[in-house]
Amino acid sequence: MAGEEAARKGERRGNEMTSLLLLLEEIIRNHQINMLLISLMITLIGPQSRKRKRLDRINQSFMVNSFPTHVRHLDRLVRLTDKSCVDNLRMDRNTFGRLCRILRDSVGLIDQKFVTVEEQVAMFLCVLSHHKKSRIVGYNFIRSSQTVSKYIHIVLRGILSLHSLFLVKPTPIDDACTDRRWKWFKGCIGALHGTYINVRVPIADAPRYRNRKGHITTNTLAACDPELRFTYLLPRWEGSAGDSRILQDAVSRPLGLKVPKGCYYLCDNAYANAEGFVTQYKGVRYHLKEWGPGRQAPQTPEELFNLRHTKARNVIERSFAVLKMRWGILRSASFYPIDIQTGLIIACFLLHNFIRSQMAVDPVEEVENEADNDDESATESDRAEHISSVEPSASWTKKRDDLAREMWSQRNNV
């Protein structure tokens, strides 16, 4: 009996040992399978990870190596000479620096990781000055066209937000004025006129933007002071819209053109001789070319008034000429949507004012004066009541007649 009991115990221990060995073998097999899977995953993932790290190092090296090139290109534009800065960006180095400071302090533009505020503004001004496409500007600045487009929109929004700072508040001509062109027009706050600017619109909208000459344009109404600075701007009117219609809309809108009582703008015959708007006499010599050398001097009060009216009002024509000579983007249609084109047009007017206020000598104006050769011998309060309509006025016609007679009576006291 004792021998049988011992045999059974030995058999049980053998079975337990066998089960333990089988379990251990299963654990080892599972471990080997897991290690094999891990090794396979490392084999598949490892080379891509190393490749990505290698590419990252290459990109970082490219960026580091390109920094001196970016700096050198910007230095050539804005840090070498005023002439190169004016030729490329239409303003001297001091004016460019002040513009960047205003955009930093008043708008909140900041230096990005790889693009400074100065470079952002320089790219924007290159587009306006020479009407370059984004990929051309990107090639010059060693940037992608997407980067250039991004910062053009950022700087554009910043410039437009400064419209109240850059637009000039008109000042009426007073008795202290000694300018021979303007001293006869007491109470005048400038000249008013519209100009056509080429735009690109969808084919369906083209008929509305086609002017009388057949060009696709927007009609922009603007007013300027004797210093060729714009005091009012109303863009994005279809080229087919008439000047009188635009003016009526301008004075009727809540935040439109406001003319204080007793003050007025000089206008041509596209507008009515109404309260706040003084035009020339119709059917009488008017344009400067009709008063050139060898022509007969004024023979009537109306002719003398027209001569002095056109000499003074010519300031708005000169303003438009300087504006379009300065900004190449205004001389041909751009490929931006019409809303962006309108914003770029406004930015050109605002930056024109800023340049006029900051630069003592405007080389663009000097070039325009040489081309035009137009000289003298040839050619309130916020609570004030404002004009709200433009209708022919007998009282203002009488005022014009009185002014013409006064000029005629003092024609020898120039």
pLDDT tens digit at each of 414 positions of the chain = 566 666 666 677 767 777 777 777 788 877 777 787 777 777 777 655 444 444 444 444 444 444 566 677 777 777 778 888 899 899 999 999 999 999 999 999 999 888 889 999 999 999 999 999 999 999 888 889 999 999 999 999 999 999 999 999 999 999 889 888 999 999 999 999 989 999 999 999 888 888 888 889 998 999 999 999 999 988 877 777 766 677 777 777 766 788 888 899 999 887 888 888 999 998 888 777 766 666 778 888 998 999 899 999 999 999 999 999 999 999 999 889 999 999 999 999 999 999 999 998 888 887 767 655 443 333 333 333 444 456 677 888 889 999 999 998 887 765
Do 175 and 98 share a structural domain? Answer: no
Helix (H) or strand (E) holding 188: strand 188-198
124 with 199, same domain: the answer is no
CA distances from 209 to 158, 192, 195, 221, 338 (A): 28, 21, 13, 15, 11
Nearby residues of 182 by Cβ (< 8 Å), 6 or more positions away? 173, 188, 226, 312
- Contact between 362 and 356 (Cβ < 8 Å): yes
In terms of domains, do 188 and 124 share one? no
Cβ neighbors of 349 (< 8 A, separation 6 or more) are 222, 230, 233, 323
pLDDT (0 to 100) of residue 67:
54
Question: What are the distances in angstroms from CA 116 to CA 119, 123, 170, 202, 375?
Answer: 5, 11, 36, 35, 44
Answer with the one of 122, 150, 165 that is the final residue of a domain.
165
CA–CA dist 277, 168 (Å, integer) = 19
395: three-class secondary structure by DSSP: helix
* pTM for this model (two decimals): 0.77
Contacts of 368 (CB under 8 A, 6+ apart): 318, 321, 322, 325
Domain extent, residue 389, equals 169-409
Counting beta carbons within 10 angstroms of the beta carbon of residue 248, is it exposed (0 to 12), middle (13 to 18) or buried (19 or more)?
middle
- In sequence order, which residues have a C-beta less than 8 Å from that of residue 153 and are 6 or more positions away? 340
Which one-letter amino acid corresponds to residue 229?
R
Q: Are residues 160 and 253 in the same domain?
A: no
If asked whether residues 190 and 219 sit together in one domain, one would say yes
Are 240 and 138 members of one domain? no
Q: How far is CA 268 from CA 287, 318, 323, in A?
A: 10, 15, 20
Alpha-carbon span 267 to 280, nearest angstrom: 8
Q: Does the residue 129 lie in any domain?
A: yes
| Residue 255 pLDDT | 61
What is the structure's pLDDT at 213?
86
| Polymer length in residues for the chain | 414
pLDDT of residue 6: 65
Question: Which 3 state secondary structure label does DSSP give 344?
Answer: helix
Last residue of a domain, one of 165, 192, 210: 165
Whether the Cβ atoms of residue 305 and residue 403 lie closer than 8 Å to each other:
yes
Burial 157-188 (b: 16+ CB within 10 A, else e): ebbbebeeebbbebebbeeebeeebbbbbeeb
Residue 100 lies in a domain: yes
Could you tell me which of 406, 321, 392, 403 has the C-alpha nearest to residue 362? 321
CA nearest neighbour of 307 among 335, 284, 276: 284
Q: What total of structural domains would you count in the chain? A: 2
- Both structure tokens of 332: 């041909």
CA dist., res. 171 & res. 226, Å (int) = 10
Same domain? 247 vs 353: yes
Q: Is residue 54 part of a domain?
A: no
**What pLDDT, on the 0 to 100 scale, is given for residue 387?**
47
> Between the CA of residue 204 and those of 207, 210, 238, 278, what are the distances in Å?
7, 12, 13, 38
Contact 335, 200 (CB under 8 A): yes
- Which of 165, 199, 217 is the endpoint of a domain? 165
Same domain, 161 and 245: no
Buried b (16+ CB within 10 A) or exposed e, 40-70: eeeeeeeeeeeeeeeeeeeeeeeeeeeeeeb
Q: What is the spatial distance between Cα 267 and Cα 313, in angstroms, rounded to a whole number?
A: 7
155 & 174 share domain? no
